[in-house]
Amino acid sequence: MIARRSLPLLLAATPALAQGQTGGQADYRWRVMRNGTAIGTHNITFTERGGERIAVSENLVTPRVMGVVVYRYEHRLTEVTRGGRFVSVRSSLNRNGTITEVEAQATGSGVTLRGPEGALNLPAQAAPLSWWEPQRFGGSVPLFGTTTGKPLDLRWTREAVGGGVRWRTAGEIEAVLEFDASGRWTAYQVKGDDGSTVIYAAA
């Protein structure tokens, strides 16, 4: 979903305690925080349909100065997986009125990715960088951004933390994520191009 572009762009690419649970996976509800102030929300909901899991992600970031919105970032995507494998994704990003749309579809021979710069053919194991899918981390899965429509160049490190795991990514995105022993996403922070750190807090 880039190298240190605007803060909200890095968020997309988008933890919380469960507020509801559908199809075996609990939803996520996050408040997006910067310098101790809430600047937006990121919600992810899951449903099941005919053996497919549908994840709907809505990331809305509107930082304000003296009550006035100074930046608007609205990223919505719908991703379909089947048996843990990527099937398709549709993404729409509104950044201050500029719309970017990205689509990808798994085919028999690979993944077709369509973005602002046209279509790309990616390997069959390619998938979007969805932060709630840690099995894609580590470098073995070719990842692409849902806000750019381009393959990502990332470096990953992994460490055990209290029965869970902490992932760090560097390169185009600098972020830290944590997952508990069950694989539940529990923490996230990312560094933006202005040098500040954005943190997700349970909503």
Tens digit of each residue's pLDDT (9 = 90 or more) over 103-160: 999 998 999 999 999 999 999 999 999 999 999 999 999 999 999 999 999 999 999 9
Q: Where in the chain does DSSP place strands (E)?
A: 21-22, 25-26, 28-34, 37-49, 52-61, 64-65, 68-69, 73-82, 85-95, 98-106, 111-115, 118-122, 127-128, 143-144, 154-161, 164-171, 175-179, 185-191, 197-202
Model pLDDT for residues 52-87, shown as the tens digit of each residue: 999 999 999 998 888 888 888 999 999 999 999 999
Q: What is the pTM of this model?
A: 0.86
- In degrees and rounded to multiples of 5, residue 80 shows phi and psi of -115, 130
End-to-end CA distance of the chain: 23
DSSP 110: S
Residue 4 has pLDDT above 80, yes or no: no
Residue 29 has pLDDT above 70, yes or no: yes
Report helix, strand or coil for 174: coil
Residue 164 has pLDDT above 80, yes or no: yes
Q: What is the pLDDT of residue 21?
A: 42
